[in-house]
Amino acid sequence: MKRVLLPERANWQQAHQEIGFDYYNLPSRDGSMYWSEGVAYEFSLKQIEQLEDASNELHQMCLEVAGDMIQRGHYPEYFQIPPAAIPLIEHSWKNQAPMLYGRFDFAYDGQAIKMLEYNADTPTGLLEASVAQWHWIEQVENIANRDQFNSIHEKLIERWKQLYPARSRVHFAACQEAGREDWGNLEYLMDTAFQAGLNVSELSMENIGWNGTAFVDLHQQEIQHLFKLYPWEWIWEESFSQFLKPETEWIEPCWKMLLSNKALLIELWKRFPNHPLLLETHAYDAHAHYAGKWVRKPILAREGANIHILQNNVDCGAASGSFYFDDYDKYGYVMQRWVKTPLHEGMLPTLGLWMVGDECAGMSLREDVFDVIGNDAHFAAHYFVE
pLDDT(373) > 90:
no
The torsion angles phi and psi of 327, rounded to 5 degrees, stand at -60, -30
DSSP character at residue 84: G
Q: Is it the case that residue 25 has pLDDT exceeding 90? A: yes
CB neighbour list of residue 16: distance below 8 Å, 6 or more residues apart: 22, 24, 35, 132
Report the chain's mean pLDDT, rounded to a whole number. 95
Mean pLDDT computed over 145-154: 97
Rounded distance, CA 32 to CA 133, Å? 18
pLDDT, one tens digit per residue, over 226-282 is 999 999 999 999 999 999 988 889 999 999 999 999 999 999 999 999 999 999 999
CA atoms within 13 A on the CB side of 194: 10
Cα–Cα distance between 65 and 62 in angstroms, integer?
A: 5
Per-residue pLDDT at 193: 98
Nearest to 314 by CA among 338, 292, 341: 292
pTM given for the model:
0.96
Tell which wins on pLDDT, 369 or 54. 54
* Contact yes or no for 309/295 (Cβ under 8 A): yes
pLDDT for position 196: 98
Residue 270 has a pLDDT of 98
* Confidence at residue 8, expressed as pLDDT on a 0 to 100 scale: 96
User: How far apart are alpha carbons 283 and 133 in whole angstroms?
Assistant: 37
Q: How far is CA 377 from the centre of its chain?
A: 15
Q: Please give the C-alpha separations between residue 135 and each of 16, 127, 128, 148, 150, in angstroms, as whole numbers.
A: 9, 11, 10, 11, 11
325 backbone φψ class: left, alpha, beta (φ>0; ψ -120 to 50): beta
Q: What is the pLDDT of residue 32?
A: 87
Average of per-residue pLDDT across 197-206? 97
Helix (H) or strand (E) holding 264: helix 264-271
Average pLDDT rounded to a whole number, residues 311-321 = 87
Domain positions in the chain are 2-261+342-385, 280-337
Q: Is the pLDDT reported for residue 171 higher than 80?
A: yes
Q: What pLDDT is recorded for position 221?
A: 96
Cα dihedral across residues 173, 179, 180, 185: positive or negative: negative
Q: Give the confidence band of 35 by pLDDT, cuts at 50, 70, 90.
A: very high
- pLDDT above 80: residue 325: no
Alpha helices in 73-132 (DSSP H): 86-94, 126-127
